[in-house]
Amino acid sequence: MTTELTVLVLAALLAVVQLGWNAVRANLEMGPDWFLTPRDSAPPQPLPVALGRLKRAYENHMETLPLFAIAAIVVTLAGASSGLTAACAWIYLAARVLFVPAYRFGWMPWRSFIWAAGFVATVLMLLAALI
pTM of the full structure = 0.92
Residue 98 pLDDT greater than 90, yes or no: yes
pLDDT of residue 38: 79
Nearest C-alpha neighbor of 77 from the set 37, 14, 126, 26: 126
Q: 88 in a domain, yes or no? A: yes
- The total of structural domains in the chain comes to 1
CB atoms within 10 A of CB 130: 8
pLDDT of residue 46: 83
Residue 35 pLDDT greater than 90, yes or no: no
pLDDT of residue 125: 98
Q: 39 in a domain, yes or no? A: no
Q: 37 in a domain, yes or no? A: no
Q: 41 in a domain, yes or no? A: no
pLDDT of residue 20: 95
For the domain that residue 97 is a member of, what is the CATH number?
1.20.120.550
Domain range for 89 is 3-31+48-130
Q: 27 in a domain, yes or no? A: yes
